[in-house]
DNA sequence: ACCTGAACACCGTTCAAGT
DNA sequence: ACCTGAACACCGTTCAAGT
């Protein structure tokens, strides 16, 4: 077998932005949001904390880059070419599952509003929204709404995951405690919350999330239907 | 004029949970999320950092309590007795304005999912949702969706405010920079984002937020209309 | 019983000194 | 040119010592 041509001799495990981001993702997945530390990072990279600053500018830069890597991977795996409403559902669910697997992505997404991860997501959601007939001047506000909703769910999932990690309670006992607290609220002041507490126990986060996307799509459809027929560019 | 009866002699400026929360709100408003520090708090309260722990359990406890004070005030000021859809709009806008005035409330809200501030908000939103005819078994998921949306907008506003504070840029130059960055993205990969960049410059956060609430209400109306007529309990 | 504030165990970030 | 790691300027939280 012929030997491969001699390449520029890359040092094994040399420090690079990519490798830093990979290790950061490992740490975040293994230890949660609080686990990403320059000292822990340096230890795993077998270097000093200062060396990292040669490749990243900031902790928030690092967090955004790690978040972007997950978002890019996730969106790549969502199949293209579906009907617009189904495409939106698929993208939204893909993000939900990604954030479920990497809860820290939820809070990372929220810290960088106009940055690359959000841009990627906006782009993928915007194209099917156009196909649904959203008026040109309403396209910004419509994606914004959908992005805010996805972000809101993401942040809540992140908060729940962090709370679970901090208190070492599992999901069902946690939900049980919250439902119990809600059920014992003052009946006159909190009738709705009391009534809805049992539903909290039985609910399915993923299904609820999808219900919100569907509600949004219904609203978009109702809005598109009620405005003058757009002259299709064919 | 008869003197008031002698009361238990309260020391002026004595340390109390309420006073700690008030000062915490002052600090958060004046210096942003990062400005709430036990040392700064202790200084303003003319005491040591340790003394605070006699009245609060935690920093997150303090943040949630401060958030709850704002939410309670805000909801108290929203007039009651309107038509259900208008009531929802009024509550949502009240929260928007409160978070606009106190951006840290956005992130504080997100850290305490099942806690008092969220319960207050859920209760106020849930009652008009019932009046709109949302099916009993769908009430939990429907409020959840609306809460997630409001939370998502809140978190984004908080992030924007924090970014503005950190970089000392004002809103319009910030938006200008983001819009410019979006406009110079690769045309083949990011057509939607490029097209929508000008709308970013001209947009009105509050109007966009309300557009989302309206979209949600339209979706709820469409869902309620398409299901069997509920047997009204009269 | 309550306050006090030094001390502990961490952070992110910098920068002189090394190679 | 790049890494190294001690040092700086902070954190939240605790707890012996005071009153």
pLDDT band of residue B10 (cuts 50, 70, 90) is: very low
Cβ of residue A193 closer than 8 Å to a chain B Cβ: yes
Is the pTM higher than 0.85? Answer: yes
pLDDT at B184: 96
pLDDT band of residue A220 (cuts 50, 70, 90) is: very high
Cβ of residue B207 closer than 8 Å to a chain A Cβ: yes
pLDDT tens by residue, A31-84: 999 999 999 999 999 999 999 999 999 999 999 999 999 999 999 999 988 999
- How far the first Cα of chain A sits from its last, in Å, is 56
CA–CA distance, A190 with B122 (Å, rounded to integer):
9
Tokens 């009652």, residue?
Answer: B127
Tokens 């209309």, residue?
Answer: B225
Task: Identify the helix (H) or strand (E) that includes residue B234.
Answer: none
Q: How many residues does chain B have?
A: 234
| Interface mutation target, options B122, B124, B139, B151, chain A, most CBs of A under 10 Å | B151
Which residues does A99 contact at the CB level (< 8 Å), separation at least 6? A105, A106, A109, A153, A154, A157, A158
Range of weakest confidence among B52-56, B103-107, B115-119, B220-224: B220-224
How is residue B16 written in tokens? Answer: 């109390």
Q: Return the axis-axis angle of helices A17-31 and A59-77, rounded to nearest 10°.
A: 80
Among the residues of chain B, which ranges form H helices? 17-31, 38-44, 59-77, 84-101, 104-111, 116-131, 139-167, 171-183, 191-202, 205-226
pLDDT tens by residue, B21-55: 999 999 999 999 999 999 999 999 999 999 999 99
Contact A192 B126 (CB under 8 A): yes
B69 close to B25: Cβ distance less than 8 angstroms? yes
Tokens 């929360």, residue?
Answer: B21
Instruction: Name the residue in chain B with its Cα closest to that of A217.
Output: B219
Report the percentage of chain B scoring pLDDT > 70.
91
Residue B233 has pLDDT above 60, yes or no: no
Whole-number distance in Å between B106 CA and D6 C1': 39
Tell me, letter by letter, the H, E, C secondary structure of chain A: CCCCCCCCCCCCCCCCHHHHHHHHHHHHHHHCHHHCCHHHHHHHCCCCHHHHCCCCCCHHHHHHHHHHHHHHHHHHHCCCCCCHHHHHHHHHHHHHHHHHHCCHHHHHHHHCCCCHHHHHHHHHHHHHHHHCCCCHHHHHHHHHHHHHHHHHHHHHHHHHHHHHHHHCCCHHHHHHHHHHHHHCCCCCCCHHHHHHHHHHHHCCHHHHHHHHHHHHHHHHHHHHHHCCCCCCCC
How is residue B178 written in tokens? Answer: 């983001």
List bases in chain D with any atom under 7 Å of a protein Cβ. 2-7, 10-16
pLDDT tens by residue, A71-130: 999 999 999 889 999 999 999 999 999 999 999 999 999 998 889 999 999 999 999 999
Mean pLDDT of the B162-181 span: 90
pLDDT at A6: 30
pLDDT at B228: 59
**Closest protein residue to C4 using CA and C1' atoms?**
B48
B107 close to A177: Cβ distance less than 8 angstroms? no
pLDDT tens by residue, B60-98: 999 999 999 999 999 999 998 899 999 999 999 999 999
List bases in chain C with any atom under 7 Å of a protein Cβ. 2-7, 10-16
A162 close to A32: Cβ distance less than 8 angstroms? yes
Residue B4 has pLDDT above 90, yes or no: no
């Amino acid at each position: 077998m012929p030997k491969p041509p001699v390449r520029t001799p890359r040092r094994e495990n040399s420090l690079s932005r990519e490798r830093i981001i990979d290790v950061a993702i490992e740490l975040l997945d293994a230890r949660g949001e609080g686990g990403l530390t320059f000292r822990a990072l340096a230890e795993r990279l077998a270097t000093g904390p200062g060396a990292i600053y040669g490749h990243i500018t900031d902790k928030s830069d690092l967090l955004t880059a790690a978040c972007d890597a997950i978002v890019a991977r996730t969106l790549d795996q969502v199949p293209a070419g579906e009907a617009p409403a189904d495409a939106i559902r698929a993208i939204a669910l893909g993000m939900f599952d990604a954030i479920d697997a990497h809860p820290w992505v939820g809070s990372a997404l929220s810290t960088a509003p106009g940055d690359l991860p959000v841009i990627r997501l906006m782009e993928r959601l915007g194209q099917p929204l156009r196909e649904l007939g959203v008026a040109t001047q309403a396209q910004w506000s419509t994606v914004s709404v959908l992005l805010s909703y996805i972000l809101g769910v993401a942040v809540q999932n992140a908060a729940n995951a962090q709370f679970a990690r901090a208190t070492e309670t599992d999901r069902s006992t946690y939900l049980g405690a919250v439902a119990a607290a809600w059920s014992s609220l003052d009946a006159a002041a909190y009738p709705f919350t009391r009534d809805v507490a049992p539903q909290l126990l039985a609910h399915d986060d993923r299904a609820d999330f999808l219900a919100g996307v569907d509600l949004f799509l219904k609203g978009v459809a109702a809005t598109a239907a009620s405005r003058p027929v757009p002259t299709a560019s064919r």
